[in-house]
Structure 1
């Protein structure tokens, strides 16, 4: 696997975690006694399938630089524990007709093990296939993924893979009823973290707090505050169509090798690639 390998001690176990540049994340708990253990592996990326009405769609095959969802789907392999689409999973607005004509023909092959989060494009109601009033509240997203996407209108939920606890959140704060600690989502997150104090924690949502791609937002600062206080380990995001890995840091962007959270931006799902604007502090890639 191409990427970075890092280890973190949590309680009585040492955890190895590898992130490939294509967005594949291996969650590998290593017991103290050396044993042969099958490591659960997940694949994660956002900003995936282009609109089937796009001039670059090309029957789903895309071009050399756009609409590459078929090519990225081919990177996924059997034996995955889960596939994590990180938002903006279907352009232009995530209308159900677009999902069925584009995403479903590529990443849709892994739908049964998919645990998505919603992006900002999924809330649009104009500009592409199925982009009308019927798509209000990201209706296409929730209709396509069903129960795998959490409660319609909310989009936050959690589950376990191996010894890891995974938390899916909705960074579209205005549409989600807020992201603050006092919002419904924030209160749910606090309760969920309190119920999983001893597990290694990976959280994921669409819009990053830190990014060199120019589209970072403070929307998720409240998430970071709660996750940092609870000792969470990893955050995955998309939104910027780049790949980037950050050193462990605090919610205020201060390097914190001891207890900071490592954030990844993985907006490499296929729509297209963009470049860095200015390199952010603590960026390692």
Structure 2
């Protein structure tokens, strides 16, 4: 997100379903908090692009199609400055492509609950978008969420600190408390409660890095847990209802099933609340 130097540009993707309205609501709420502008994009699975994956010059939306999109989004958008676009082809490709072309700072989509079989048969649009996106994506559940904080899941690497910076941007802009979360491996015959009491050298360096990024501001707390990464992060988030989980997400790779992929993919599918994915 390039949020500190100019007005936020929030891109929200929709498929005209009732669940997708929660994405529009989230975009409107965020735009109100940061004085941002909103772009609404819908992807239609017809035209030459639907068969080839390559948009044709003739695949241009009609005024009737654009007016339909405006009318559909109007109840949630209210008076926010907004623009509208319709693309043709595969949603996972076209949404991420349009986000880059329109220089969006953030993509918002609704993360719908789907079975493993459903994802295997028809793919997962959210996973496809975040794997391709060059900007952070905020995935919200199909329900109203009252934000209560932002939690950045960190692995202690320098590259992972990009996640903390993006989480800090979101927390600062929305006025929410920020925390960092890291998971250390569980050692044999060692009580898990010792993780916070006796952190490893990696976690100590992580605490220093967090404090350095915060500068003169009050340092964000660093929560240390031990055990399986996904299980421990999910356990923490279940105790933080309404908090956004910020995770690093590797671009590229096969779509596949999220459960067979990285920790980021598993957390995206299983986290109980909103998830902010940060491209690595």
Normalising to structure 1: TM-score of the pair? 0.27
Larger radius of gyration: 2
Normalising to structure 2: TM-score of the pair? 0.27
Point out the structure with the larger helix share. 2
